[in-house]
Amino acid sequence: MSQLSQRSLLAVVLALVACTSTNAPSESVRTPTLSPALELAVRPPSCPGRADIERLTRRYQVQGAAKHLVPRTPSSIVWCGPGDRQVLLDKHVVGRIVDEFNALTLIDPGVVFWGCPIERRPKPTYGLFFNYPDRDVLLVTVTTSGCLFASNGHRMAFTNPRILGQVASAFQHL
């Protein structure tokens, strides 16, 4: 993929990602109308601010999160992007996203040095909240600049523009 295509793809992804501060107005909220019972099962009901997502280190205690980026089989995903909260309920698409994240090579615990690109205007971090049938929720944060990290608070991996594009595409078509 050419540098221009990668930048174009990244620009599209960035247009969809990054939780903004809670003081920022929401321009687009495409959360589908859910039944009250289903809405209780899809969390969070509103997205935390950007600073809150970036500060979260240990997310919920989902069994298997120390071995896999996204353990087990979540039933839905809540995307928290720039002024946006979207819910993905299609189990087939949720499974495909889980498979993509779990196919990434995990970074060995204790490794703390990376040669990441430095960007003058760092791009935002966004959150994917994986909801499980037993009401567990796992937050995976994804950075869209520098090393393109994905982390569940226990394990971390490098993502890539292809995966970011697939995730953005899944939510863009809601």
pLDDT tens track for 125-160: 889 999 999 888 999 999 888 888 999 988 999 998
| More confident site: 149 or 112 | 149
* Tally of domains in the chain: 1
Domain membership of residue 4 (yes or no) is no
pLDDT band at 54 (very low <50, low <70, confident <90, very high): low
Rounded Cα–Cα distance for residues 46 and 15 (Å): 19
Domain membership of residue 32 (yes or no) is no
Domain membership of residue 8 (yes or no) is no
Domain membership of residue 115 (yes or no) is yes
Domain membership of residue 3 (yes or no) is no
Domain membership of residue 74 (yes or no) is yes
- Decide: 163 and 157 in contact? Cβ < 8 Å: no
Contacts of 67 by beta carbon, 8 Å cutoff, 6+ apart: 155
pLDDT of 27 > 50? The answer is: no
For residue 60, which of 4, 132, 162 has the smallest C-alpha distance? 132
Instruction: Report the predicted TM-score, pTM, of the whole model to 2 decimal places.
Output: 0.71
Q: How many residues does the chain have?
A: 174
Residue 90's domain spans which residues? 48-172
Domain membership of residue 39 (yes or no) is no
Domain membership of residue 1 (yes or no) is no
Could you give the C-alpha distances from 148 to 52, 95, 115, 144, in angstroms and in order?
Answer: 19, 21, 12, 5
Give the pLDDT confidence score for residue 96 in this predicted structure: 94
